Copies of this chain bind each other. A is one copy, B any other.
Amino acid sequence: MGTKPTPRSALAAACSRTPLRSIHGSGHRTGLFADCPDLIGTPFSYAREEEIYGEGEDAEFVYRVVEGAVRSHKVLSDGRRQITGFHLAGSLFGFEQGDVHWHTAEALSDTKVLIFQRRPIERAATHSAEVACQLWSMATANLRDAQDLTLLLGRRSAQERLAAFLIEVDGRFGGTGTFALPMTRRDIADYLGLTIETVSRTFSQLEEEGALRRASGRQVTLHRARLRHVVET
């Protein structure tokens, strides 16, 4: 591929050559913008651990995950990190208030996204109540997630946090109870407000209690009833 193209250059190129129809219908969830045919995203790729945008950067684009996974986080000056969310296939991220990002976003693995320019969407929102309502609905969904995380971090033990997290991820992967975690122990720890050692020990405890089984790689099989019992309410 030679030198890495920027989102901007990819967008410019896409304007002249992309067969727009081919971008949709590729299996990602319908949702925001699904009924806005003029808001077609430009495909783009990021390598594992590559930064998509940084905190404080100009928020020129928003993104929808097509394949792979992304994390959003904030860091303190001494390096402590809090991941505020994982974005899996189908989810939209990077849409924040104001003109700069207040998080850093990085690809967990090689990831394909669709890129949208933020400005035209915001301009559309000022004219179309429908678009604005979709943005509102999206923000509200994110708000609920953030507040659930707040309850998790403020009032739950390590076991409860990990159990709730695994149930949540399972749900996002279709609820089969078996999946491969796309993130490292460090990512899980920084999401749950724990250390990697505690996450690792808690995995072992849950396995001893028969609430899950670990296989090679990051494959896990959940005993969902027992995990739910750990989480209770």
Please give the residue numbers on chain A whose beta carbons come within 8 Å of chain B beta carbons, in ascending order: 74, 76-78, 80-82, 84, 96-97, 102-103, 125-133, 135-137, 139-144, 146-147, 149-151, 153-156, 190, 192-193, 232-233
Contact = CB atoms under 8 A, between A and B. Distances in A.
Contact of A140 (B139, B151, B154, B192): B139
A126 B136 contact: no
Given A76-B233, A142-B143, A126 B129 contact: yes
Given A129-B132, A136-B136, A139-B143, 5 more contacts: A76-B156, A78-B232, A96-B144, A129-B129, A129-B131
Contact of A97 (B132, B137, B155): B137
A102 B155 contact: no
A190 B141 CA distance: 23
B78 A233 contact: yes
A226 B146 CA distance: 30
Nearest to A83: B154
Contacts of A131: 129
A78 to B, nearest CB: 7
Contacts of A126: 129-130, 133
B155 A76 contact: yes
A232 B75 CA distance: 12
Nearest to A191: B154
